[in-house]
Structure 1
Amino acid sequence: MLTRAESVQGLKDLRQHLWERWWLPHADTLARTRLEKLHAQGAMPRIALVKQDCNEDLYCCTRGTPLAEMLRSTLLRSGPVALFTQFRTQFVLVRAEEDPECAIWKEKARDLRWCPEEWFRSFQDRVPGRDYGQTEFAVSVEDVDWSAFDLVISVDVAVPARITRRFPQVVWAYYVREVKAPSYRVSLQTLLPGQDLFLKQNFAPRFRRGNAAHVVDFPYHFHYHGVFLDAFQEDASLWCGDADKAGIFLEHHMRAALSDKELTVLERFGPVYSTHHAAVRHDEVAGKAVPVTTMEPEVLAQLHAARYFVKMGGRNVFGTAMVEAIACGAVALGDPHRLSHRFLYSRVLSAESFAALVDRLERLEAEPTLLAAARARQRALVDHLCFRRPALELVDACQKVRARRH
């Protein structure tokens, strides 16, 4: 007899299956058609993606830097790449302002106790592994003509209310990058000063709507399958068909925890790749580690070459790396209990132990049709939930903000 927990999970699985089988194809066709129409009409909004010079993530370059070079300049993650491949978007790096609404970054020091404030400020003077700081490319918020954009998206609030109120024709939106930060919880209920929309980062199917009117489900990893092929069009090393993919790309925390014996077992399935933290370089001048990012040419090529991406063990994660891997063409496997968006793991891709992982890999290798079906499912989910649906919901939310003003 099933336990109550097993019965509840069974109902969730059935609901998810019906949503994928009947609703997703219909909804995605409508979304695709509407996006194509917006492109054809030249109606895609002009967007600025903005970050402060004390932000230890995303790009470090001047406005107008070519897309491939901009992505290579990232300090850590690839970020919402589809904003640049599918919208008319520019990246703007600004100097940190002292207005209270622009101090979300301080919560990482004060409330989350990641590092002292000085650690974040030090990125203004020197980026680890580079001979320059972000201030070299940053501009004052006073010197940007924000009227050139229809929508401005801040990674944490980067443009203060005293500036945003001067441009009532612009829609102002923001991420709180760290979902554990107090400002994230506050923003689910009410907007920070000077802002119109809060980008929540979630991308799961919704069976009950619960967002406030100002909240948009819009992933930080705004990706679709093939997004990096669009971004790095001249990089032939990324063009690897599904039939030619081989091996496994391991989430870096998992790679660190593997024994030599376990690694040898995985090598039966092809090359084993990772951004394993033991390979992190160290900047003696800055006194900081220099992380290996997935936007480095060799690592991005490995992601596109790998047949599988695996996350097991270690801390729970949001799923950014997994979505990025699926966008690169890999099939993601692992422990769903370590993932916020566990629906991406079907039963054949779920493994809570190393022995189960090996069993799943052996079965997928032995049954090409099963592998193809698992691959198609994950790509369909990422394309819809991490790109097409949030793209249209952002466009619609901007239109509603403008309608309220008029």
Structure 2
Amino acid sequence: MNKLKIALVKQEVYQDLYVCPVTEKDPGQILFSSMGRVGPIALMSDLNADFYIVKEESNKETRIYQKVIPHIAPYLHLLKTETLDKIPGQEFKSPGSPYPNGKYAVSCYTIDWGQYDIVISINISLPTQLILKYPQTLFAYMIGEANMATGKARFGYDATLNQMARGRISHKCGAIDFPYTFVAKDTLEKIMQQYLGRPSARKGIFMEINSTTERPVTRIPDHFQPLADAGYEIILHQQKIADNLKNIYDAKYFVKMGGRSIRGNSVAEAVSLGTLAIMNRDEVIHHELIIDECNVKTMDEMISLINRLENDPELYRTLQQKQRQVLHTYFFDAPLQSLINCLKEKRGLSKPRTYSRWNRLFDNLYFLKLR
């Protein structure tokens, strides 16, 4: 297949990811405009995808975001004119862009989606009636909150991206593994090198934010004191994405101990930045990233391993490369191949899929069941 042409789309009422015009092509500028998370930045940095913010439409399916995070749903319309930190309950956030989503939002009806091989929508950004007009384009959606609407593709879309990264490769349209943090082994490292104009300092230990409940994080929790007592610098989470990524990029280790279990997007970010991730894999949904050598259960085991790595630079490099290769396979190669396979399957059909009144009925019933 020739070089893919891909688009990533979000609505002006979405509370995460990038806030920039489609004309912005610098991956660093796109990334640092994010309201919070890194997201699927490799689409733009490694695959040259276009990124769109589209206006909210009135169709029922495009309002699914109201079901995803109901506690702030009544305020998300404010993102058309305000930044995330102006939303009630989100005041502690530090969005990367000073502009609201609405500044760059365009009507989805003004875009020729037929120019793309693959269009990935965060939530349901594009109405069913619109995407059915482009039978040669693969349309996939990813619900912003993991584990929602992942069982099968609905609303006329070809694929639903389930935010998993298990190395499974799909060969047909439907539910496929595709992580929220879609990155290659060195995607973020290359972006930070260009942004900072220097290599990583590779010093200190970055504490994963969910090791503590404090927001924003201002101090080392008590259970991390043994690491500090052992002479290691503990680096804390920063609210602004550019500042936080710089801290992880310059750290030598990315660790989590205690606190709540995590999906592991932050782990993927750290590995792509070249920072070795060490933690208990039982506390990470994306547990594949925690290779055997970096799987520790106690703080004593954590300190022992880091001491060993400090005395054996070659072992550090070996584990770093091994972990990055796992990331590349699970978070980049496999999900991308699944999209390519789904596109081939769709284009190989003798006639386009239909979206019948029964499909619409069942999707409407499913919509009503969502929380």
Match of 1:197 among 145, 155, 159: 159
Number of the residue aligned with 1:22: none
Q: Which amino acid aligns with 2:208?
A: E
Q: 2:49 aligns with which of 73, 89, 93?
A: 89
CA displacement, residues 135-172 of structure 1 (integer Å, 9 cap, x when unaligned): 12111112222222121100111001111112222211
Q: 1:168 and 2:122 equivalent?
A: no
Secondary structure of the 1:98 match is coil
Q: Which residue of 1 aligns with 2:13?
A: 54
Find the aligned partners of 1:378 and 1:87 in 2 and give their Cα distance: 22
Aligned residue number for residue 63 of structure 1: 22
SS in 1 for 2:194: coil
In structure 2, relative to structure 1, the CA distance for the partners of 1:271 and 1:386 (3 Å cut) is same
Q: How many percent identity over aligned positions?
A: 25
Aligned pair in 2 of structure 1 residues 109, 256: CA closer, same or farther (>3 Å)?
closer
One-letter amino acid matched to 2:337: L
What amino acid does structure 2 have at the position aligned with 1:343? Answer: E
Q: Partner of 1:332: helix, strand, or coil?
A: strand
Which one of 40, 63, 88 corresponds to residue 103 of structure 1? 63
* Farther-moved stretch of structure 1 (323-332 vs 67-76): 67-76
- After TM superposition, give the deviation of residue 109 of structure 1 in Å: 3.6
Aligned residue in 1 for 2:315: 370
Look up the match of 2:178. Answer: 218
Q: Given that residues 15 and 79 in structure 2 are in contact (C-alpha distance below 8 angstroms), is that contact kept between their aligned partners in structure 1?
A: yes
Structure 2 CA distance for aligned equivalents of residues 344 and 229 of structure 1: 17
Partners of 2:229 and 2:20 in 1: how far apart?
Answer: 38
Question: Are the equivalent residues in 2 in contact too, given 1:238–1:305 (CA < 8 A)?
Answer: no
Distance (Å, rounded) in 2 between the aligned partners of 1:131 and 1:328: 25
* Equivalent residues of 2:28, 2:191 under 8 A apart: yes
* From 332, 340, 348, the counterpart of 2:285: 340
Residues 78 and 309 of structure 1: CA distance in aligned 2, closer, same or farther (over 3 Å): same
One-letter amino acid matched to 2:265: T
For 2:264, give the aligned amino acid.
G
For the 8 Å contact 2:264–2:286, the answer to whether it is kept is yes
Aligned partner of 2:228 in structure 1 is 266
- The change in CA–CA distance for 1:392 and 1:343 in structure 2 (over 3 A counts) is closer
Distance 1:405 1:232 in 2: 46
Q: CA deviation at 1:312?
A: 1.8
Deviates more, 1:299-308 or 1:231-240: 231-240
Within 5 Å, give how 1:233-382 maps onto structure 2. Answer: 234-237=194-197, 239-240=199-200, 245-255=202-212, 258-259=220-221, 262-263=224-225, 265-266=227-228, 268=230, 270-275=232-237, 292-294=239-241, 296=242, 298-382=243-327
Q: Give distance in 1, aligned partners of 2:312 and 2:194.
A: 34
Residue 135 in structure 1 maps to residue 97 in structure 2? no
1:390 is displaced (CA, Å) by 1.8
> Partner letter of residue 76 of structure 2?
F
Partners of 1:365 and 1:75 in 2: CA distance = 35
Change in 2 beyond 3 A, CA 1:314/1:389 = same
Are residue 123 (structure 1) and residue 90 (structure 2) matched? no
> Aligned in 2, Cα 1:205/1:366: closer, same or farther, shift over 3 Å?
same
CA spacing shift, 1:171–1:68, aligned 2, 3 Å: same
1:144 — aligned with what?
111
2:343 paired with 1:398 = yes
| Root mean square deviation, CA, Å | 2.4
- Compare the two structures and name the one with the higher helix fraction: 1
Q: Which amino acid aligns with 1:320?
A: N
The question of whether the paired residues in 2 share the 8 Å contact of 1:173 and 1:199 is answered with yes
Do the aligned residues in 2 keep the contact of 1:254 with 1:314 (CA within 8 Å)?
yes
1:247, 1:267 within 8 Å by CA — same for their partners in 2? no
How far apart, in 2, do the equivalents of 1:72 and 1:210 lie? 32
Counterpart secondary structure, 2:309: helix
Deviations 1:2-53 (Å, cap 9, x if unpaired)?
Answer: xxxxxxxxxxxxxxxxxxxxxxxxxxxxxxxxxxxx6xxxx12111100011
State the Cα deviation string for residues 80-101 of structure 1 (Å, max 9, x = none): 1111122231000011223222
String of CA shifts for 1:239-295, please: whole Å, max 9, x gaps: 22xxx512111111225574358347337454322225xxxxxxxxxxxxxxx143x
Q: Tell me, in whole angstroms, the C-alpha distance in 2 between the residues paired with 1:211 and 1:248.
A: 41
Q: TM-score, normalised by structure 1?
A: 0.75
Residue number in structure 2 paired with 1:79:
39
CA separation of 1:84 and 1:405: change in aligned 2, threshold 3 A: farther
In structure 1, how many angstroms separate the alpha carbons of the residues matched to 2:229 and 2:209?
16
Q: How many angstroms does 1:225 deviate by? A: 2.2
One-letter code aligned to 1:102: T
Count of residues in Structure 1 that have an aligned counterpart in Structure 2: 334
1:175 Cα deviation (Å)?
A: 0.9
CA distance in 2, matches of 1:267, 1:236: 31
